[in-house]
Structure 1
Amino acid sequence: MRQNLFHNTSIQTQLIKLGLVQQSNTSDIQSNIHKLITNIRWCAAREAQLIVLPELHNSLYFCQTENIKAFDISESIPGYSTRLFGKLAQELGIILILSLFERRTLGLYHNTAVVIERDGNIVGRYRKMHIPDDPAYYEKFYFAPGDLGFQPIQTSLGRLGILICWDQWYPEAARLMALSGADILIYPTAIGYESSDTDEEKRKQKNAWIISQQAHAIHNGLPSVTVNRVGHEYDSSGQTNGILFWGNSFVCGGQGEIIAQASDMQEENLIVDINFHRQEEIRRVWPFLRDRRIDAYENLTRRFID
């Protein structure tokens, strides 16, 4: 019988305390930011070292419609938000992951995650690579695809493999982060139910969303963190009844086990301990990277194999 090698005490332990902020937003950006700051302080008071915010956390999810005026809320990086949250990170001695509507230059915008170190400085950014264009998620109107690749961001706590929302459906993105040395996968997210879907369809969508990220964790032997917004946001065009963001922010370990999960209807902050070094323990027993047939995968770069 094969020996059970999990929980090998010879492998180093590095416990990291995470903070996840799951909140609802309104059209009042300053009110949203004030709430974010309150929630960040709540997490820091409970010794969170790394705090993750949802996708596009300063505002409503404006991508439900195509509206040129929405570009007015974009901002440069560095800019207002990175200065504001940078001062907060320095004060609290925490690492913060922001999700911003980046104005790169005139007429060029990105959906961008920014990592703020404990000294308040920017140490890296990731621009969302996969851009959706679905009913109520018209992101291609606003965002150019990312051009920074799938590169983990080095911090004082480890290498953060940050991806954003629609990226979470693509195994290639998670795998490339893992192959580049990520210690953890992190997904700021804004996803929910479109009003016309049936209850059965809604259950299928949410279950698929959770399972997909558990699979990324398993395939790569890495913990995975997903932070979603929650609550109903109206569709100003009147074409739909808006999006009910389904919350359920969660953390799973490298075997796909769910360590903590927020509710589906309530604002909630989670404090979660994870072990960045457990990936070594898992990969010794499940050596998926060792057994990959890299000599036989050339067709993965094709759109379709005819």
Structure 2
Amino acid sequence: MSESKDSTLSVGLVQQSNTGNREDNLRKSAGAARRCREGGAQLIVFQELHTGLYFCQTEDTAAFELAEPIPGPSTEYFGELAQELDCVLVLSLFERRAPGLCHNTAVVIERDGSIAGKYRKMHIPDDPAYYEKFYFTPGDLGFTPIQTSVGKLGVLVCWDQWYPEAARLMALAGAELLIYPTAIGYETTDNAAEKARQRDAWIISQRAHAVANGLPVISVNRTGFEPDPSGVTGGIQFWGSSFVAGPQGEYLFQAPEDEETHAVVSIDRQRTEDVRRIWPFFRDRRIDAYGGLTKRYLD
């Protein structure tokens, strides 16, 4: 970190609903970011694919027109915003790498507007209403934290949050925060009990990553309803609930499910050191006995 270990880091979260109007989405994101900066944010995190609708509810080749290069229009727009705000930004974009080759990519923009680094989503779902394998090639950049002026950021994306291996590898590589831009919600025909189980599991899994790795976790989800263009499902009600957890899994902040929210949360960066001294999970890992983790299944 560029600042002393006993200092705090102020993190801004932007939880928003989206439409198909890119310019409106950009203005909304930028406005919330400016308000976060006014509240003292040094790092601002946006949700997954925040420049448009969550287009993966259907498989439609026309949606590939939404993909963009990196660097490209979004990194230029948010690069100028980062310079204006003197703040580090975490973006989530549909990256066009080559014809027919696209990724779901998080990009970290440094305070001077430059690209500090990027992470390509490694785990790609393919479920009803989440047909991401049609659009996204699995990432090939590994689990490598991105060094910035506010610290070493372990940026992962949405479906990655269900995998303890991803969080662990980021932590072992020196990540000081785990950050998850996310787009997840209820399929509207699920009953109330199932909806509660899904949301609770999502929160529990990420808080567990905080505990197991002794690191703060920042999870920023979208909110609002987006219909299924095909009409096959009832659409997705994104459940918001963006949150920040400390290194013992304690809540530092939680947003509501159904409201657009921007918030600034203070993270005590000394607590990682303090917690790892009393819960020395890294010391007690049996790295000699974990070879099976590289297998698909132990028959």
Give the TM-score range, shorter chain: over 0.9
Deviation per residue, 1:65-89 (Å, 9 max, x gap): 0010000011000000000100110
1:103 aligned partner: 96
Q: Please, which of 146, 171, 194 is the counterpart of residue 153 of structure 1? A: 146
Q: Please, which of 106, 112, 120 is the counterpart of residue 113 of structure 2? A: 120
Corresponding position: 1:296 with 2:293? no
Is the partner of 1:289 in helix, strand or coil?
helix
Corresponding position: 1:183 with 2:169? no
Paired residues, number: 296
Query: Match for 1:226: what amino acid?
Result: S
**Map of 1:255-274 to 2, 5 A cutoff?**
255-274=248-267
Output the CA distance in 1 between the equivalents of 2:69 and 2:260. Answer: 28
Further displaced range: 159-168 or 267-276:
267-276
**Map of 1:138-217 to 2, 5 A cutoff?**
138-217=131-210
Is the partner of 2:137 in helix, strand or coil?
coil
Query: Match for 2:243: what amino acid?
Result: F
Confirm or deny: 8 A CA contact 2:88 2:109 kept in the other structure.
Answer: yes
Q: TM-score, normalised by structure 2?
A: 0.98
Is the partner of 2:283 in helix, strand or coil?
coil
**Map of 1:127-138 to 2, 5 A cutoff?**
127-138=120-131
Output the CA distance in 2 between the equivalents of 1:34 and 1:259. Answer: 28
Structure 2 unpaired stretches of 5+: none
Output the CA distance in 2 between the equivalents of 1:228 and 1:292. Answer: 32
Is the partner of 2:65 in helix, strand or coil?
helix
Report runs of 4+ in structure 1 exceeding 4 Å deviation.
Answer: none
Output the CA distance in 2 between the equivalents of 1:236 and 1:107. Answer: 22
Shift of 1:277: 2.7
Confirm or deny: 8 A CA contact 1:184 1:276 kept in the other structure.
Answer: no
Output the CA distance in 2 between the equivalents of 1:63 and 1:46. Answer: 34
Query: Match for 1:268: what amino acid?
Result: T
Shift of 1:265: 0.6
Query: Match for 1:189: what amino acid?
Result: T
Is the partner of 2:26 in helix, strand or coil?
helix
Shift of 1:12: 4.1
Corresponding position: 1:46 with 2:39? yes
Query: Match for 2:31: what amino acid?
Result: T
Output the CA distance in 2 between the equivalents of 1:14 and 1:213. Answer: 24
Output the CA distance in 2 between the equivalents of 1:34 and 1:93. Answer: 18
Shift of 1:125: 0.2
Deviation per residue, 1:165-213 (Å, 9 max, x gap): 0000000000000000000000000000001211100000000000000
1:28 aligned partner: 21
1:230 aligned partner: 223
Is the partner of 1:251 in helix, strand or coil?
strand
Output the CA distance in 2 between the equivalents of 1:228 and 1:114. Answer: 16
Deviation per residue, 1:11-59 (Å, 9 max, x gap): 9412000000000001111111111111111111111100000000000
Confirm or deny: 8 A CA contact 2:5 2:269 kept in the other structure.
Answer: no
Output the CA distance in 1 between the equivalents of 2:136 and 2:5. Answer: 41
Output the CA distance in 2 between the equivalents of 1:19 and 1:280. Answer: 23
Shift of 1:251: 0.1
Output the CA distance in 2 between the equivalents of 1:102 and 1:276. Answer: 32
Is the partner of 1:241 in helix, strand or coil?
coil
2:67 aligned partner: 74
Q: TM-score, normalised by structure 1?
A: 0.96
Q: Please, which of 80, 83, 90 is the counterpart of residue 83 of structure 2? A: 90
Shift of 1:122: 0.2
Aligned-residue identity in percent: 63
